[in-house]
Amino acid sequence: MLRTFILLAGLGVTGLLAANSRHAATLPAQPPQQDTTKRIHLLQAKSVENIATDSVDERRFTGDVIFRQGTSLLYCDSAVIKAQQNIVEAWGHVHINQDDSIHTYSDQLVYVGDTRIATLTGNARLTDSKIVLTSPQLVYDMNTKIGTYDKGGKLVNGESVLTSQEGFYYAETKDVYFKKNVEIVDPGFTLGTDTLLYNSNTKIATILAPTTINDGKATMYVTSGFYNTDNGYGSFGQRPVIEDSTNTFTANEIQTDKSTGISIATGNMIWRDTAQKVAVLANYGIVNQHLKTVLATQKPVMLLEGKTDTLFIAADTLFSGIIKKDTVAPKQDSAATATMRPITERPAVTAVQRPAIRDTAGHAAFKKLLDGATDAKDTSNMVAAKTQPDTSGLAAIRSAAAIVPDTAALAAAMPDTTGPRADTARIISPQVTAAPPPRDTTEKRFIIAYHDVKIYSDSLQGVADSVYYSSVDSIFRLFRNPVLWANDNQMLGDTIFLFTKNQKADRLLLDQNALIISEAGPDMYNQIKGNTVMGYFGEEKLDSMHVNGNAENIYYVQDDDSAFVSVNRLLSANTRIYFQNGELERVVFVKEPEATMFPFTQMPEDQKRLQGFRWEIHRKPKSKYELLGQ
């Protein structure tokens, strides 16, 4: 077979005749091209056939065909050139090499030389050495270096595979605009949307429509912003939602970093722990999904949902985290439980020797930790938490890890409110040994609130400088000038412990310098003071209170017409107070009290107040809306 190689400067008749003497017919002379860059030059072919009629002027080439236009080369097995239209139709192993930068491949090709637009059909493929774009049909504009498809396509960039029904590839900027049924599948995540802009160099996906991103641990529902598919950093606006197996949160804007699990939420953040029914509202928050923690500032409010009531907690700063599994075993509280059990009967009261209820060392350790982090006079250590993040990069999110408290240290410093315990099983029967408690493998959440803490529920209100709560024992610990209100009673103590069950108040302990005050009338106050006071709740109302150690009492006596008759001041070792439907029913003294009775109008002014008296009704939260709108 004759092998003829043709090297021509153009496609003129003279060159073709020199290349193959079989074609001896004289063809019309071609007018000179005005734009020489649009001329298609034949560089190589094994055979050439000319077809010329009054309406058609074609040349057919077969065998290792190569054409050149400008700096671009076209390879194929066979081709036809329509000279008048300056069009090439090519078949078999079609390959266009544009400037050694963009390569396109297909089974068939229609190429318009004047517009430099190539329509590739059948296994169409475009690559720039970094990405591979494939489609049943691909249109590539060699002027603008834009490739488009509308019959479905796939782009492979490293380990990421992007598919869509329609697509536009911009080779100059490395941007790809995907439309309809867009999906990214990557070993680290999947993304689904209707419209997406993706840059193959930066691997950043710009969100243009409602989009779902699932990284295996968390699912993100976003409508605007961008997501770096390479390092897992995302910045989203228009109230994105991020959720995992236990919590979900949203805000006006969220920045998130997959590698650290930290997200920064700005503007109207709502965070929920769906498993433990805890929610946090704030204008700024840092969520660590790896550690399952949330730090909230800028008017934060925490909601603890109960069966019939919700407890609201507001503070300058709120933090909540998880005490790791197997680090805390259920506490055996037999001695304390025997002392603090709710009263179902009211027998004649006798003196009781009561075990200590405080673990002073535990209190001191916790207070030292809290003081070091939350000194009311120096809040400079909270500047990092309250400073808005730098949304321009990843450094702000990763620096947020530095301000997350050490949960292990917090757990270790958690005060033991029940103090030293007698082994009641051993006391009752020396032969019986208590079985070791089962290991508790469920996750337990703790809460820290500090500076200007306010608590509100329908049955209980309170204020303090700092509060610590752990679901290990379901106890709220209120520090620094704490005050609680229940049944129109104001309760004070150096530290207040509120025991809960199912998010309901069960009992409380006013620890040291305990003082209970209720308003009997204008500038008249019933008062009970003691070293400690233990209170019990029934049906979410205060049912009874036990005052232990140097119990002092001042109460105003009224007759049947509610007229004030006298004022009594009493001193007793211990006092029991009982309520009926939230109203004072009776007071019982363990021992005969030392009593002084004053006629109502003859009570000396200096006798009307017990030491440490403070009436702080102005601090009492009026409603949940006061906390939400603070």
Tell me, yes or no, whether 82 lies in a domain: yes
Tell me, yes or no, whether 146 lies in a domain: yes
H/E element, 428: helix 424-428
Tell me, yes or no, whether 334 lies in a domain: no
* Enclosing domain of residue 4: 1-28+36-151
Over 50: is that where the pLDDT of 387 sits?
no
Q: Among 219, 220, 217, 211, which Cα is nearest to 184's? A: 211
SS3 522: coil
pLDDT digits (tens, 9 = 90+) for 153-194: 999 999 999 999 999 999 999 999 999 999 999 999 999 999
44 or 437, which is more confident: 44
Q: Tell me what pLDDT residue 440 has.
A: 54
Count how many domains the chain has. Answer: 1
Mean pLDDT, to the nearest integer, of 59-75? 93
List Cα–Cα distances, 166 to 138, 413, 575, in angstroms.
10, 59, 81
Task: Name the least confident of 11-25, 269-283, 554-568, 606-620.
Answer: 11-25
Q: Tell me what pLDDT residue 580 has.
A: 77
Tell me, yes or no, whether 487 lies in a domain: no
pLDDT digits (tens, 9 = 90+) for 251-285: 999 999 998 999 999 999 999 988 888 999 999 99
Over 50: is that where the pLDDT of 9 sits?
no
Tell me, yes or no, whether 289 lies in a domain: no
H/E element, 336: helix 334-340
H/E element, 371: helix 360-373
Q: Among 549, 537, 552, which Cα is nearest to 587's? A: 552
- DSSP 8-class letter at 33: P
Q: Indicate the pLDDT class of residue 368, thresholds 50, 70 and 90.
A: very low
460 or 75, which is more confident: 75
Q: Residue 207 burial by CB count (10 A; 0-12/13-18/19+): exposed, middle or buried?
A: buried
Mean pLDDT, to the nearest integer, of 289-302? 92
Over 50: is that where the pLDDT of 365 sits?
no
Tell me, yes or no, whether 123 lies in a domain: yes
Over 50: is that where the pLDDT of 222 sits?
yes
36 or 135, which is more confident: 135
Tell me, yes or no, whether 556 lies in a domain: no
Task: Give pTM, 2 decimals.
Answer: 0.74
Task: Name the least confident of 57-61, 87-91, 321-325, 510-514.
Answer: 321-325
Beta strand extents in 203-356 (DSSP E only): 204-207, 211-214, 219-222, 224-228, 233-237, 241-243, 247-250, 253-257, 262-273, 278-288, 293-297, 301-305, 310-314, 317-323
Residues 443/322, Cβ–Cβ less than 8 Å: yes
Q: Indicate the pLDDT class of residue 472, thresholds 50, 70 and 90.
A: confident
Mean pLDDT, to the nearest integer, of 443-459? 90
Tell me, yes or no, whether 70 lies in a domain: yes
Q: Tell me what pLDDT residue 3 has.
A: 38
Q: Indicate the pLDDT class of residue 419, thresholds 50, 70 and 90.
A: very low
Mean residue pLDDT across the chain: 78
| One-letter identity of residue 294 | V
Q: Indicate the pLDDT class of residue 570, thresholds 50, 70 and 90.
A: confident
Q: Tell me what pLDDT residue 166 has.
A: 96
Q: Tell me what pLDDT residue 162 has.
A: 95
The Cβ of residue 372 has, within 10 Å, a number of other Cβ atoms equal to: 9
Over 60: is that where the pLDDT of 301 sits?
yes
SS3 75: strand
Q: Tell me what pLDDT residue 377 has.
A: 34
Q: Output the domain CATH number for residue 20.
A: 2.60.450.10
Q: Tell me what pLDDT residue 227 has.
A: 95
Over 50: is that where the pLDDT of 455 sits?
yes
